[in-house]
Structure 1
Amino acid sequence: MLSEQIRIDLLGTLEVGFTSRMTTGRRSVITAAKLRQMLAMLAANTNTMVSMEQLIDELWPCSPPSSVKTIVQTYVYQVRKLFREAPRSANGTTLLVTRPGGYLLTVPRDNVDVFRFQHLLGRGLTALRLGRPDHASELLREALALWRGPALADVTAGPHLQGLSVYLEEQRLEAVSARIEADLATDRCGELVGELRRLVADHPLNESFHIRLMQALHRSGRRGDALTVYHRLRAVLDRDLGIGPSAEAREVQQEILRSG
């Protein structure tokens, strides 16, 4: 089926690819900024109708042109034209379906990298909760490998896609933190210290990375360095947010102190 041959990637630059009996791994280049933005909006809501109002709000959040609905319909035509590079599906349906009040992109969610990432993240978190850190690490690494750069890196984002980008970045950091937790559970402490130091420097207010660094240092026999990380975390939180470390961070600190 046509829908099974289309792949849309949003975790980096927007890329659309398809395979058929005549082509293998071919990707289409979309140069028009508004067209990329519209396709990203449809792909991010795969198999869920996107209303005309949502599309207008995304593409023209401040002052839509007077002929805005006609322009949206033109973009819909251009998206359909893009998809014609692949053969039609057996039942003759199109990928981009017109519905009363909006449009529906009918692509399997596994063909959009955002949904593959979220599926793998969910499986990885479940494996971690079930005490299977090796399997969790494998799934989370596979999920993170889908990222080719910042989400929607070459897409001009309106309010909907901006919110999606922030949400996906939070999920990426959650996947990184969980993967590190899984690696700590399998005694890969020494090799994690360098990565965690970089993460702490890039995300100084992310307590999870500080906590994992404390644990990695402590389990590597570097008790003093681990306590130094805690004191730096406390100072940063107090200076920037006016709060103290979380209960989890304090508990890890107490565990380190008791071990001395």
Structure 2
Amino acid sequence: MRGEHIRIGLLGTLEVYDLGHPEKERLVHISAAKPRQVLATLAANADTVVTMDQLIDELWPDRPPSTVKTIVQTYVYQLRRTFGEASRSTAGTTILTTRPGGYLLSVPKDNVDIFRFQDLMDRGLAALRLGEHARAAELLRDSLALWRGPVLADLNVGTNLQGLAVYLEEQRLEAVSARIEADLAGDRHGEIVGELRRLVSAHQLHESFHIRLMQALYRCGRRGEALTVYQKLRGVLDHELGLEPSSEAQRLQQEILAGQ
């Protein structure tokens, strides 16, 4: 099992697959919590050296044990052995190598879902800027389809992985918003009203979703409902943040009012 035959999923529970199995891809079982946390940290930095200090900070952010480096070395050894047993070879020693000051997981970034997600999202945003709305919607849907749940949902993560999880969730919401923008530009407003209502309910301070819902409702001829969405947005922002809706939301409200 070489590094290019490993696929790792972080967008949900941590999953590791051997793609080089002769019959079909096979799940590689890694059950212990700390080695899984080490692997997640290495995978989030695939093909890049992760220092011993980074691993220690992730595993023990407060008070690391006195034998901390030996413990990390043991976890790395366990991961190498797991990779080797899965492939019945010495692949573990080439997939996960020791480098000066740390370790390198030699898995292509394309084989780790967080990097595939980011690439598809970036391409989708670029297509949207070019006015290629159908292509943008397709790419953004493909990026969002990689998500199986919250990032590393089955791990107790440290500061570094928690920061990654927060960042990726923000990126996911941006991808959703952009995909909806592409759908609106493609005259699919009637199809996305229900989805937008769910998003507004789940993310009450995410103004973009309120704006898109207003647009979708207005294009469906539901002017009164669109204005109600604006009033609810205004109430939530005032109550939670002491703010007024953005200039974009206010302009849209005026456009809807003027369109009587």
So what's the TM-score if we normalise by structure 2? Answer: 0.96
Structure 1 stretches of 4+ moved >3 Å = 87-90
Q: Which residue does 1:241 correspond to in 2?
A: 241
Please tell me whether the aligned partners of residues 2 and 87 of structure 1 are also in contact (alpha carbons under 8 angstroms). no
Please tell me whether the aligned partners of residues 80 and 93 of structure 2 are also in contact (alpha carbons under 8 angstroms). no
Q: Give the counterpart letter for 1:86 in structure 2.
A: S
Q: Which residue does 1:83 correspond to in 2?
A: 83
- Please list the CA deviations of residues 119-142 of structure 1 after superposition, one character each: whole Å capped at 9, or x if unmatched: 000000000110011001111111
Q: Shift in Å at residue 227 of structure 1?
A: 0.8
Q: Which residue does 2:229 correspond to in 1?
A: 229
- Write the distance in 2 (CA, Å) between the matches of 1:93 and 1:151: 27
> The residue matched to 1:94 in structure 2 has which SS?
helix
Q: Which residue does 2:168 correspond to in 1?
A: 168
Q: Which residue does 1:67 correspond to in 2?
A: 67
Please tell me whether the aligned partners of residues 190 and 216 of structure 2 are also in contact (alpha carbons under 8 angstroms). yes
Gaps of 5+ in 1: none
- Write the distance in 1 (CA, Å) between the matches of 2:145 and 2:157: 23
Pairwise mapping of residues 111-260 of structure 1 onto structure 2 (< 5 A)? 111-260=111-260
- Please list the CA deviations of residues 86-142 of structure 1 after superposition, one character each: whole Å capped at 9, or x if unmatched: 37699x970112111111111110100000000000000000110011001111111
> The residue matched to 1:47 in structure 2 has which SS?
coil
Q: Calculate percent identity across the aligned residue pairs.
A: 68
- Please list the CA deviations of residues 199-239 of structure 1 after superposition, one character each: whole Å capped at 9, or x if unmatched: 00000000010000000000000111101111110110010
Please tell me whether the aligned partners of residues 205 and 236 of structure 1 are also in contact (alpha carbons under 8 angstroms). yes
> The residue matched to 1:17 in structure 2 has which SS?
strand
- Write the distance in 2 (CA, Å) between the matches of 1:181 and 1:36: 37
Q: Which residue does 2:27 correspond to in 1?
A: 27
Q: Which residue does 2:40 correspond to in 1?
A: 40
Q: Shift in Å at residue 19 of structure 1?
A: 2.2
- Please list the CA deviations of residues 31-56 of structure 1 after superposition, one character each: whole Å capped at 9, or x if unmatched: 11111111000000111211111100
Please tell me whether the aligned partners of residues 50 and 104 of structure 2 are also in contact (alpha carbons under 8 angstroms). yes
> The residue matched to 1:117 in structure 2 has which SS?
helix
RMSD: 1.6
Q: Give the counterpart letter for 1:168 in structure 2.
A: L
Worse-superposed segment, 18-27 or 222-231: 18-27
Please tell me whether the aligned partners of residues 210 and 233 of structure 1 are also in contact (alpha carbons under 8 angstroms). yes
Q: Shift in Å at residue 183 of structure 1?
A: 0.6
- Write the distance in 2 (CA, Å) between the matches of 1:36 and 1:23: 26
Please tell me whether the aligned partners of residues 49 and 99 of structure 1 are also in contact (alpha carbons under 8 angstroms). yes
Q: Shift in Å at residue 7 of structure 1?
A: 0.3
So what's the TM-score if we normalise by structure 1? Answer: 0.96
Q: Give the counterpart letter for 1:259 in structure 2.
A: G
Please tell me whether the aligned partners of residues 3 and 107 of structure 1 are also in contact (alpha carbons under 8 angstroms). yes
> The residue matched to 1:55 in structure 2 has which SS?
helix
Please tell me whether the aligned partners of residues 88 and 94 of structure 1 are also in contact (alpha carbons under 8 angstroms). no
Please tell me whether the aligned partners of residues 120 and 140 of structure 1 are also in contact (alpha carbons under 8 angstroms). yes
Gaps of 5+ in 2: none
Q: Shift in Å at residue 23 of structure 1?
A: 4.5
Q: Which residue does 1:51 correspond to in 2?
A: 51
